[in-house]
Amino acid sequence: MQERIDADKGAPTVGPYSPAVRANGLIFTSGQIPLNPETGEIVGDSIQDQVRQALENLKTLLEAAGSSLDKAVKCTVYLQDLHDFESMNEIYATYFNGEVPPARSTIQVASLPKGVDVEIDVIALE
């Protein structure tokens, strides 16, 4: 059985998809970009600011599902420019600094929605 997860205070979706789905004890999030949940505007000129906002959006979404970033088991980070890897990692490490950080893939992509520099999705335990 699948259940759609929406966060009342989460960033708005930019297409016809679920923000997150609960299935078989896992939470699968859609990719989160650095949208301000209140205004729908892109946040941050720097990669650090954009990573921080994308992770805050993921945190809000997971908490709405009764989960948390601490329960993340897999993350995928999509970067517009792989040269931003170290800067992204600096902020990312402050959100996933537990004993067992999630597995992660980082991929450079040709472009991202709304011209942002980063998009991140997560698979987490309930």
CB 20 within 8 A of CB 62: yes
Residue 79: the pLDDT is 98
Q: Which residues contact 106 (CB under 8 A, 6 or more apart)?
A: 76, 77, 78, 79, 82, 85, 88
Residue 7 pLDDT grade (very low, low, confident, very high; cuts 50, 70, 90)? confident
Q: Residue 62 pLDDT > 90, yes or no?
A: yes
Task: Tell me the C-alpha distance between 2 and 51, whole Å.
Answer: 29
pLDDT tens readout for residues 102-126: 999 999 999 999 999 999 999 999 9
CATH class held by domain 2-125: alpha beta
Backbone angles phi, psi at 78, to 5 degrees: -110, 120
Q: What is the mean pLDDT of residues 40-49?
A: 94
For the question of whether the overall pTM of this predicted structure is more than 0.85, the answer is yes
Q: Would you list the domain boundaries of the chain?
A: 2-125
The candidate with the shortest Cα–Cα distance to 49, out of 65, 66, 33, 68, is: 33
Q: How far apart are the first and last CA of the chain?
A: 14
Residue 6 pLDDT grade (very low, low, confident, very high; cuts 50, 70, 90)? confident
Q: Which of 11-15, 23-27, 77-81 has the lowest mean pLDDT?
A: 11-15
- Please report, rounded to a whole number, the percentage of residues in the chain having pLDDT higher than 70: 99
Q: What is the mean pLDDT of residues 53-64?
A: 96
CB 27 within 8 A of CB 7: no
CB 80 within 8 A of CB 118: yes
